[in-house]
Amino acid sequence: MIEGNILEKADLKDLKFFKKGKVRDIYDFDKKLLIIATDRISCFDVVLSSCIPYKGEVLTRLSAFWFAFMKNIIDSHFISMDVEQFHPSVLKYKDLLEGRAMWVKKTQPLPVECVVRGYLSGSAWKEYKNKSSVCGIELPSGLKESDKLPEVIFTPSTKAESGHDENISEKEVHNLIGINLTQKIKEKSVAIYKKGAQYAESKGIIIADTKFEFGLYEDELILIDEVLTPDSSRFWPKDDYEAGRAQASFDKQFVRDYLISRGDLDKKETFSTPLPETIMQRTSRKYLDIYKIITGQDLIQ
């Protein structure tokens, strides 16, 4: 039984609230932000009524690991996870923040989810079955579910504040942020994915796909939000991989699959009914396991 301190929301009333995301609660400190990863989980762009033990810590600590790992490719918004280095006004919340909060640079986020795919899965597989293409990118015929793609592809999507993100073409990204910036985020996204995927494979993990976010800080493009976490990526055990079927995974696909089995995704009760304890526990274990596999460290003893 995995037991941990569950944080559904960070209600720090004496601090300047900035934004509530699906998973993160964010506070404003002028040129800095305090980003707190709660244990909320969202699937199909809907926040569920249940929380996952240790999820916020896994997302924060794993992102911090990857931000450092990718520093030779691109700088990030990450400053510190050490609460002692945050603004003095938050020190009284140290116990709540420890392990799940980041002190970061405040950026101008770009309105694009930078999705990178090395394998054919999820929404890309559904689109390929109908069109033989993904986000306007033509792919070879005859590919199967979970097939490794001939080359890594960049398949961006909108970044919806509410509702569902939607896949868009690279040309549509040009219209949003310009050709030069589009080329930069594409090059950086593919480079980050390739480096992360190579490292993960050395640990017995396939990173099938992932998504990144970027922002501008003093006119410099930097990496923001989270990086290569089980919320933003598909992690498949290499020794169990077989093309032509769905894969076992160390990520929130496990919860998505449960919700699909529960019933109609258009019905409110599909998301508002609490997850069974067994699903919450197994999800928590998957998150903790991928953290240990990638970093070599146990988050809990």
Look at residues 74, 106, 138 and tell me which one is the last residue of a structural domain. 106
Same domain (yes/no): 134, 208: yes
Same domain (yes/no): 227, 181: yes
In this structure, what CATH number is given to the domain that contains residue 44? 3.30.200.20
Same domain (yes/no): 172, 199: yes
Q: Say which residue the tokens 């926040």 belong to.
A: 47
Q: What is the pLDDT of residues 26-80, one digit of tens each?
A: 999 999 999 999 999 999 989 999 999 999 999 999 999 999 999 999 999 999 9
Q: What is the pLDDT of residues 231-252, one digit of tens each?
A: 999 999 999 999 999 999 999 9
pLDDT attached to residue 164: 65
Burial of 163 (0-12, 13-18, 19+ CB in 10 A): exposed
Residues with Cβ within 8 Å of 202's Cβ and at least 6 positions away in sequence, in order, are none
As a whole number of Å, the CA-based R_g of the chain is 19
Same domain (yes/no): 127, 93: no
pLDDT attached to residue 267: 86
pLDDT at 209 over 90: yes
* Extended strands (E) in the chain: 17-20, 24-29, 32-37, 40-43, 46-51, 78-80, 101-105, 108-109, 112-119, 133-134, 137-138, 148-154, 157-158, 205-217, 220-224, 233-237
Same domain (yes/no): 116, 101: no
pLDDT attached to residue 144: 97
Q: Calculate mean pLDDT across residues 250-278.
A: 92
Q: What is the pLDDT of residues 93-122, one digit of tens each?
A: 999 999 999 999 999 999 999 999 999 999
Count of domains for the chain:
2
Same domain (yes/no): 126, 182: yes
Residue 161 tokens read as 């504040």
Q: Calculate mean pLDDT across residues 276-298.
A: 97
Q: Which domain holds residue 29?
A: 17-106
pLDDT attached to residue 70: 98
Q: What is the pLDDT of residues 142-187, one digit of tens each?
A: 999 999 999 999 999 987 655 567 888 899 999 999 999 999 999 9
pTM value surpassing 0.85: yes
Same domain (yes/no): 52, 156: no
Same domain (yes/no): 114, 156: yes
Look at residues 83, 106, 129 and tell me which one is the last residue of a structural domain. 106
Q: What is the pLDDT of residues 220-229, one digit of tens each?
A: 999 999 999 9
Look at residues 250, 275, 296 and tell me which one is the last residue of a structural domain. 250
Same domain (yes/no): 147, 102: no
Same domain (yes/no): 50, 117: no
Strand, helix or coil for residue 129: helix
Same domain (yes/no): 147, 243: yes
Same domain (yes/no): 133, 159: yes
**Crossing angle for the helix pair 277-295 and 253-262, nearest 10 degrees?**
160
Residue 204 lies in a domain: yes
pLDDT attached to residue 160: 66
pLDDT at 4 over 80: no
Residue 79 tokens read as 């400053």
Residue 298 lies in a domain: no
